[in-house]
């Protein structure tokens, strides 16, 4: 395997039980990218915060596939919850953001002929899974009373993440020769 042209296909076909050095290196970079994007945050009204993690999760999932998006989303976001002092959210974040990245990558890679429409649809579905997941987690950990204001923060993350990730993934697709 040579050059930049092959990394997208390589990561989309990787087997998690048999990671080679190249795949592991890229996954570590994706986790770091997601962590840094999540670190750029604004505290919310309860125990959550607005962040740019969705930009990273969506960009990685749209460009490199479901597995890369799921791993980067789950691990990178949960790691930042721990570092930023929101440790109680880390297990929920790991599952919710991991599933979000997995879903976005899976849906986006299903159909190649309508890629732009497919990317938007993938982000809407994955983002709504994130919104629903956090609504349930907030109701469980805190109360249903805090769910509604927090949905606005999650929706803003999905919207801003999608608006920024689609052109980023388009440029990365062009760079990698797709």
Using 50, 70 and 90 to split pLDDT, how confident is the model at 49? confident
- Cα separation, 68 vs 56, whole angstroms: 11
What is the chain's Cα-based Rg? 16
**How many domains would you assign to the chain?**
1
Per-residue pLDDT at 41 exceeds 90: no
Contacts of 58 (CB under 8 A, 6+ apart): 69, 101, 104, 123, 126, 161, 162, 165, 166, 169
Using 50, 70 and 90 to split pLDDT, how confident is the model at 112? low
pLDDT digits (tens, 9 = 90+) for 74-107: 999 999 999 999 999 999 999 999 999 999 999 9
The HSE-up count of residue 23 (CA atoms within 13 Å, CB side) is 19
Q: Which of 7-11, 84-88, 106-110, 136-140 has the lowest mean pLDDT?
A: 7-11
List the CATH number of the domain containing 129. 1.10.1760.20
User: Tell me, what's the pLDDT at 22?
Assistant: 84
Write out the residue range of the structural domain in which residue 132 sits. Answer: 4-11+20-175
């Amino acid at each position: 395997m040579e050059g930049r042209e092959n990394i997208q296909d390589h990561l989309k076909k990787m087997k998690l039980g048999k990671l080679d050095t190249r795949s592991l290196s890229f996954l570590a970079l994706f986790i770091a990218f997601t962590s840094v994007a999540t670190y750029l945050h604004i505290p919310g009204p309860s125990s959550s915060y607005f962040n740019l993690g969705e930009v990273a999760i969506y960009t990685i999932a749209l460009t490199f596939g479901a597995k890369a998006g799921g791993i980067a989303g789950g691990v990178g976001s949960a790691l930042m919850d721990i570092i930023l002092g929101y440790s109680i959210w880390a297990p929920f974040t790991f599952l919710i953001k991991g599933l979000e990245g997995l879903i976005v990558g899976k849906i986006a890679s299903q159909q190649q002929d309508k890629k732009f429409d497919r990317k938007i649809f993938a982000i809407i579905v994955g983002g709504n899974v994130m919104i629903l997941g956090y609504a349930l987690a907030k109701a469980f950990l805190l109360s249903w009373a805090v769910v509604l204001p927090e949905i606005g923060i999650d929706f803003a993350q999905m919207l801003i993440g999608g608006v920024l990730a689609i052109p980023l993934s388009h440029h990365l697709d062009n760079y990698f020769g797709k």
